[in-house]
Amino acid sequence: MLVNKKHPAYSTTTEFEELRRNLVDNFDADGALEEDIVADLAGRLWRKQNCATFRTAEVARKHYKAIFSQEFDKLRVIILLRKRKLKKESRLRGMG
């Protein structure tokens, strides 16, 4: 059976197909039903082998969104304060 030696995030469809073909050969799948069963098995093994990467990616995505949201909120406040300052300066210039 194929053991994915490189990082799963960079795995390709070709590697999945190799895994599926190896399983078909290993179980000597004959006919559509057996090949379908082996294809299901290949999908489950693929997900199992790559599950940690998918979990890590999900955690990273959530972390990124949280950081981005915080930074975006800070930026919004800065922009709002600058607009207020410019408005105030504009009014003061109009009075003088």
Domain that residue 40 falls in: 8-95
Q: Estimate the share of the chain in helix, then strand, then coil, as percent rounded to the nearest 5.
A: 85, 0, 15
Q: What percent of the chain has pLDDT over 90?
A: 32
- Reported as a single tens digit per residue, the pLDDT across 67-95 is 888 888 888 889 999 999 999 888 888 77
Q: What is the predicted pLDDT for the residue at 83? A: 92
3 is a domain residue: no
pTM for the structure as a whole: 0.45
13 is a domain residue: yes
- Reported as a single tens digit per residue, the pLDDT across 23-73 is 989 999 899 999 899 999 999 998 888 888 888 988 999 998 888 888 888
44 is a domain residue: yes
24 is a domain residue: yes
Instruction: Name the CA dihedral angle for 69, 72, 77, 78, rounded to a multiple of 10 degrees.
Output: 150
Is residue 29 a contact partner of residue 37, using CB atoms and an 8 Å limit? yes
25 is a domain residue: yes
Our CA angle for 89, 95, 96, nearest 5°, is: 90
Three-class SS of residue 65?
helix
2 is a domain residue: no
